[in-house]
Amino acid sequence: MSGLSETERAGCKKILKSMAKGDLYSLSDTVTNKMIVVENAAEAVETVISFSKNAEELLRRKKVQRDLIFRYLAGEGVAMPPNSEKHQLVQRTLELWSPVKDETKERHPSQTPTDSANEKAEESLSTNVNAEEGFDPLVLGKQFCLWFFQILNSQNVSLGQQPQDWGPQHFWPDVKLRLLARAGSEQMEEFQGSELVSLRLLALTRDERLLLSPNLEAQGLRALASPHGLVLVAVAGTIHREAACLGLFEQIFGLIRSPLENNSWKIKFVNLKIRGQEALGGTEMTAPALTYNSAELQLLCS
């Protein structure tokens, strides 16, 4: 019997399910010394987990490639530099699964191997962040980004994840999206209304197979609140498709509480700026920083 916790089992399953079938069967042969013949991929996943002493041993296997772990972490809302080595990704994954911190369940709702994961993510955006005197917009900004990029990235089938609850319900009916893309030429798209905005953002991950990895460290994340209840969250990050890093993005969200829906935060506007590799000209890709300063964000608040 393996010594994996429920959280580790759920995480390892996600990673193993994203492996190529040939690699998965080969890994099953390795861990069982070819003593067990599996009939299908689901059996292979269970066998590998059952015959692994612990999560670290499983993650360090040669067949569990670096890119699989990188994509898993990005899907969980954990930003890692694109040039991270495998041992760093393994360490970060083990930290993510560690039960030491209580708040990890709140910050990473998908860790809970139950169907209530999405409800917990919703709660973390409403009941857990109150607009009282000690309200910190940066705490809300980080929670929001973990939640938003996790459910958006889960729509990308190449991650091998169960798609989470994406849709117009997370936006105000009159939400606006401005999408500026610089890859060779410059393209500007504008959309209005919760249905159109949610579909255009969904197309990035579901149809274009992109993966957005936010940098939630100090230089990649800013948040500020206006006296009128609008909270601005600005975040920078890298864009990937499979193992390739395609460029950088900067995204600004305007969030306002909805008193009719348990005071949960909903998205009022989104400005998304994408720069492809060729438009970057030697910019540092590992931990992208925001180019917006506080004064520019204040203007959006007014």
Per-position pLDDT tens, the chain of length 302? 457 888 999 999 999 998 889 999 999 999 988 888 888 999 999 999 988 989 999 999 999 999 899 888 888 878 787 778 899 999 999 999 987 644 433 444 333 333 344 444 444 444 334 444 467 888 889 989 989 998 999 999 888 778 888 999 999 999 999 999 887 778 899 999 999 999 999 999 999 999 999 988 888 899 988 877 889 999 999 998 887 888 899 999 999 988 777 778 899 999 999 988 765 554 445 667 887 766 666 666 55
Whether residue 159 sits in one domain with residue 68: no
**Rounded to an integer, what is the distance from CA 263 to the centroid of its chain?**
24
What integer pLDDT is reported at residue 170 of this predicted model? Answer: 94
What integer pLDDT is reported at residue 166 of this predicted model? Answer: 93
What integer pLDDT is reported at residue 294 of this predicted model? Answer: 62
The total of structural domains in the chain comes to 2
Whether residue 179 sits in one domain with residue 86: no
Q: The domain containing residue 130 runs over which residues? A: 103-301
Is residue 28 in some structural domain?
Answer: yes
Tokens of 47: 């066998």
pTM beyond 0.75: the answer is: no
Phi and psi based region of residue 172 (left: phi greater than 0; alpha: psi -120 to 50; beta: remaining) = beta
**Angstrom distance (rounded) from CA 202 to CA 171:** 13
Whether residue 119 sits in one domain with residue 84: no
Whether residue 135 sits in one domain with residue 227: yes
Whether residue 143 sits in one domain with residue 14: no
Show which of 97, 124, 157 is a domain's final residue: 97
Is residue 1 in some structural domain?
Answer: no
What integer pLDDT is reported at residue 160 of this predicted model? Answer: 78
C-alpha distances out from residue 47 to 15, 80, 111, 120, Å: 14, 30, 21, 30
Whether residue 166 sits in one domain with residue 148: yes
What integer pLDDT is reported at residue 185 of this predicted model? Answer: 78
CATH code at 242? Answer: 3.10.450.50
C-alpha distances out from residue 257 to 102, 124, 176, 194, 196, Å: 26, 13, 16, 15, 21
What integer pLDDT is reported at residue 234 of this predicted model? Answer: 93
Is residue 136 in some structural domain?
Answer: yes
Whether residue 74 sits in one domain with residue 165: no
